[in-house]
Amino acid sequence: MKAITASFLLGSAFALIACAPPARGDDSPGDDDSNTTPDASGVAEKCTKMDLVFVVDDSGSMAEEQSNLGANFPMFATLLQNYTNEKGQHIDFRIAVTTTGRDISYTVNIGSGLPPMSFNEQGDDGAFRKDCGVSRAWLEPNDPGLANALSCRAGVGTSGPGYEMPLLMTKWALAERVADGTNAGFLRDDALLGVVMLTDEDDSSTTENNFTLSLTSPGPTPTFNPADAITFLDGLKGHRSRWAAGVIAGQTSCSSSFGEAAEATRLKEFVQMTNANGTQQAVFSSICSGNLTTALNDVLNKFQSACGNIIL
């Protein structure tokens, strides 16, 4: 969510006087010790399975990016279906899609005699999409119309919450939503986990709720940080080599045919920290490149490289 400014708050106030706001229908991270590099007894293998999760921004500015992602998903699916590891084995993959938003309530109070305005926004809370003609919460290589279903699921809409939380929603998708049965059955112990985060804003992951925004209080404090996400993924998979990540966001504050993107400082930190201590499990690509083909290829190359050096 872009920083709250006086002009933004005033604009929001007058817009909301005219119409009601739209709506859309902690942590127990694992131990990071000894997970950053292969241990002495670990032997790199060639994985034959990938569990891939796309966490896509569904806020109001993302229509063009989602359209471009959908247009490139058939290529992504074809490359996955044709990819073989060094043993000549095809990859048994699963692809799931969720969004960056969670249910959140807050109040905007700009003073100047105007009444406070309440917002109640609904997000997916990490739940995988089950639309586009496939009832299962993920797609598999032999699903009929795989490319079309992937393209369809990329269209997550633009009426999601204005606070983008890709880091926290990754955790909720793979922990909270697995625990309550929503995403149960997706994760496989012997598969490489690949996470792709796509947003035109920086991460604002927080578990805070019912907060107030004003000219002197710009928003909630992030409570789930890049280091928390890394520790969670290390603990979930048991070893840094068993997961990889691709971030497609603003390398700097930038603009393209997609519109404007904010510098994703926290997401860049997540990639840098993931790649520390001799590991190279994450890649960052700019959302302002004008086309997502290169970014998706960067992500797939990273996943294929990680798949070739997994410690099972």
Average pLDDT, integer, range 286-291: 84
**Among 2-11, 133-142, 248-257, whose mean pLDDT is lowest?**
2-11
Smallest Cα–Cα separation from 77: which of 161, 155, 1, 145?
145
Assess whether pLDDT exceeds 70 at residue 98.
yes
Segment 40-64, tens digit of pLDDT = 346 677 889 999 999 999 988 888 8
User: What pLDDT score was predicted for residue 1?
Assistant: 54
Rounded Cα distance between 150 and 141, Å, is 11
**Is 263 inside any structural domain?**
yes
Assess whether pLDDT exceeds 70 at residue 13.
no
- Highest average pLDDT, of 58-67, 136-145, 175-184, 247-256, comes from 175-184
Alpha carbons within 13 angstroms on the beta-carbon side of residue 158 total 9
User: What is the pTM (predicted TM-score) of this model?
Assistant: 0.85
Average pLDDT, integer, range 252-261: 83
**Is 116 inside any structural domain?**
no
**Is 131 inside any structural domain?**
yes
Q: Are 52 and 95 in contact (CB under 8 A)?
A: yes
Assess whether pLDDT exceeds 90 at residue 88.
no
What secondary structure letter does DSSP report for 181? Answer: S
User: What pLDDT score was predicted for residue 42?
Assistant: 60
Average pLDDT, integer, range 258-282: 93
Segment 200-243, tens digit of pLDDT = 999 999 999 999 988 888 788 899 999 999 999 999 999 999 99
Number of domains in the chain: 1
User: What pLDDT score was predicted for residue 34?
Assistant: 37
Q: Please give the residue range of the domain that contains residue 281.
A: 49-102+127-206+223-311
Rounded Cα distance between 91 and 59, Å, is 33
**Is 157 inside any structural domain?**
yes
**Is 164 inside any structural domain?**
yes
**Is 218 inside any structural domain?**
no
Which distant-in-sequence residues (6+ apart) come within 8 Å of 258 by Cβ? 64, 65, 68, 200, 287, 288, 290
CATH number for the domain spanning 280: value is 3.40.50.410
User: What pLDDT score was predicted for residue 176?
Assistant: 98
**Is 58 inside any structural domain?**
yes
User: What pLDDT score was predicted for residue 40?
Assistant: 39
**Is 306 inside any structural domain?**
yes
Mean pLDDT, the chain, integer: 85
Which distant-in-sequence residues (6+ apart) come within 8 Å of 292 by Cβ? 65, 68, 69, 72, 248
